[in-house]
Amino acid sequence: MKKDLWINGRWVPTEQTLTIHSPFDGHLVGEVSVATSSQVSLAIDAAERTRPAMRALSAYERGEILDRVAELFDKRRHEAAAILCAEAAKPLNAALAEIDRTVQTYHFAADEARRLSGEMIPIDAAPGGKGRFGFTIQEPLGIIAAITPFNFPFNLVAHKIGPAFAGGNTVVLKPASQTPFSAFFTAELFHDAGLPAGALNVVTGSGAVVGDVLVEDERIAMVTFTGSPPVGKAIKAKAGLKKVTLELGSNSAVIIDQGVDIDTLIDRCVVGAFSFQGQVCISLQRIFVHSSLYADLCQKMVIATKKLNGGQPDKATTDYSALISEKDADRVQQWIKTAEDDGATVLCGGERTGNMVSPAILTNVAKGLKVSCQEVFGPVVVIWPFDELGDAIDQVNDSVYGLQAGIYTPLLDNALHAAKKLEVGGVMINDIPTFRVDQMPYGGVKESGTGREGLHYAVTEMTEMKLVVVKPST
């Protein structure tokens, strides 16, 4: 497979190319073009020229295109999932689940295209407004630069370009270097669905080169970024007056209160901690469990975790596969080892096979260690006991991140107290922090980012409110 840049509805070759290899076994997945700065500018030119055509589409037409893309994804779900297995080493079942969510995300975007509207403003409620009435409309911002990470290469792209098109914008998309084929597949489906040429441009190449041009070009109205906090901070520092939304990382936590039946949540915690090798922004990394349940929870988590199968991503029996790169596998292994050297107990996992690290459960971990206070983004979960709920909440909040948190408790008062006190963008009651459906508001506080995704919220971010005040002439 070889893909050039996708600019103005056609393939544009480049001098330099990059080969993409499977993170699992190193086989050659394909080759993609590496854009120069001037080719990124060409993509922005195309997006600029297509703005009037996108503005001219009716809500009905935008909704139809997005629904057609959803249907095409549904029809070609196995083909799309195979791309995820190859470029990201995403286990097949997780890959199919991502495609099913991508279908949902584009349908939700289509719904938002159809319902995008403003509101009536009671202008005559002020003394100076007598005789006038007003209303608002939501207009497209213009060109949206979308920069996306490797871990959900279809659905996180959908969370950016779905609302961008629902709002009538054009897009230049820069996917993660390891996962470009999913972005080109998406572009082809939009082309087949009738999106005007030039409305979606996909440029691959180094984050620094492509990213810098997108972030600094005055014609870009908004940068929507999902990725790591250091890159997010650098983008915000360079973006000037552009609108910027940042969906960044976390070390998400769950609290398990006394009186909870832990048999009902073990499988859920295992899924939350180890799905896609823990490379999920709301992966369950920290568990605070009431001391009366601690020993039982540790034992049952280990039993359930040891049943997980590691292996080839394209097999339906595989639960976990390789981390995205050798460097990341080395890093995760090193963080576990550092914790162990510091006195932590590794209850299970942490063994290395190629780029796979087996799912690891750690206890007795000091709070200042990387596995507790930084984002592992790997298959590691740490368990601590607590006696007082207030202490557990303080420990969850003792983090530079704040994306989502969960609390299992039989007591409504405790649930509501935690919902109020937890410093995060979303609190899941009687569930893990890893819960997400695609229409819900989603985003973080602190170093987990700014702005909200979820189709309705993203369309609002990607459109500008304009006020119209009418003074009837008679």
- Min dist CB 173 to ligand NAP, Å, is 9
Catalytic residue among 247, 375, 453, 461: 247
- Min dist CB 231 to ligand NAP, Å, is 4
Between 70 and 156, name the residue whose CB sits nearer to ligand NAP. Answer: 156
Residue 204 near residue 87 (C-beta atoms within 8 A): no
Residue type, 446: K
Catalytic residue among 98, 112, 269, 281: 281
Distance CA(274)–CA(193), nearest Å, equals: 36
Between 138 and 186, name the residue whose CB sits nearer to ligand NAP. Answer: 186
Residues of this chain that interact with ligand NAP (CB under 6 A) are 147-151, 156, 174-177, 206-208, 211-212, 226-228, 231, 234-235, 247-249, 281, 375, 377, 403, 449
* C-alpha neighbours within 13 Å on the C-beta side of residue 77: 18
- Min dist CB 225 to ligand NAP, Å, is 7
β-pairing, 286-290 vs 253-256, is parallel
Query: What burial letters (b/e) apply to 177-186, b meaning 16+ CB within 10 Å?
Result: bbbbbbbbbb
- Min dist CB 246 to ligand NAP, Å, is 8
- Min dist CB 377 to ligand NAP, Å, is 5
Backbone angles phi, psi at 37, to 5 degrees: -60, -40
Between 193 and 234, name the residue whose CB sits nearer to ligand NAP. Answer: 234
Between 210 and 346, name the residue whose CB sits nearer to ligand NAP. Answer: 210
Between 350 and 454, name the residue whose CB sits nearer to ligand NAP. Answer: 454
Residues 6+ apart with CB under 8 A from 15: 36
Cα-Cα-Cα-Cα torsion 293, 332, 453, 3, nearest 10 degrees, comes to -150
Cα-Cα-Cα-Cα torsion 51, 136, 462, 3, nearest 10 degrees, comes to -30
Between 220 and 293, name the residue whose CB sits nearer to ligand NAP. Answer: 220
| Angle between helical axes of 180-192 and 59-75 (0-180°, round to 10) | 120
Between 159 and 290, name the residue whose CB sits nearer to ligand NAP. Answer: 159
- Min dist CB 226 to ligand NAP, Å, is 5
Whether 281 is a known active-site residue: answer: yes
- Min dist CB 151 to ligand NAP, Å, is 5
Distance CA(78)–CA(49), nearest Å, equals: 35
Residue 260 near residue 227 (C-beta atoms within 8 A): no
- Min dist CB 293 to ligand NAP, Å, is 28
Between 42 and 176, name the residue whose CB sits nearer to ligand NAP. Answer: 176
Distance CA(117)–CA(139), nearest Å, equals: 9
Between 93 and 450, name the residue whose CB sits nearer to ligand NAP. Answer: 450
- Min dist CB 46 to ligand NAP, Å, is 20
Distance CA(39)–CA(52), nearest Å, equals: 22
Which residues have a catalytic role annotated?
247, 281
